[in-house]
Amino acid sequence: MKASPQAYNLIREFEGLLLAAYRCPSGIWTVGYGHTSNVPPDAVITQLQANLLLQEDVAQCERTLNRYNLALTQNMYDALISFIFNVGAGNFHRSALLSKIKVNPYDSTISDEFLKWIHSRGKPLAGLQRRRMAEIKLYFSTQ
């Protein structure tokens, strides 16, 4: 599967766009739409570069998610792309969220697993809670 425009829109909405490097709430140097790989503190990019980095980062999330061969709807897939983009492939791989999806992607308690991922440096963040709620809404919505 591939991420649809709604996955990109969700990521853009919650990541925001900054063309100069900044430290995210977790203290990681970030630029563009939440790009964190090899970002020097003095990085400055263009809108075009931000879009290309977003496409590369989403493609990496797609490769991660597609490895599991899960039976997902497009909405489920897009919600999980946003989730993986935010928490990282390793955290997703080790998560109870993935374990539950493997058993039954329609399990209503999957919502609880999304909501376990609202903390940064041990503190709950309102922005992460809003993001998880949007991901849950998309995950369980029908097309």
Comparing CA positions, the residue from 70, 141, 50, 20 lying closest to residue 84 is 70
Active site (annotated) includes residue 24:
yes
The set of long-range contacts for 126-132, using a CB threshold of 8 Å and a minimum separation of 24, is: 127/14, 127/25, 128/86, 130/14, 131/14, 131/82, 131/86, 132/83
Active site (annotated) includes residue 61:
no
Full DSSP string of 68-121:
T-----HHHHHHHHHHHHHH-HHHHHT-HHHHHHHH-TT-TTHHHHHTT--EET
Catalytic residue among 15, 61, 113, 135: 15
The catalytic residue positions are 15, 24
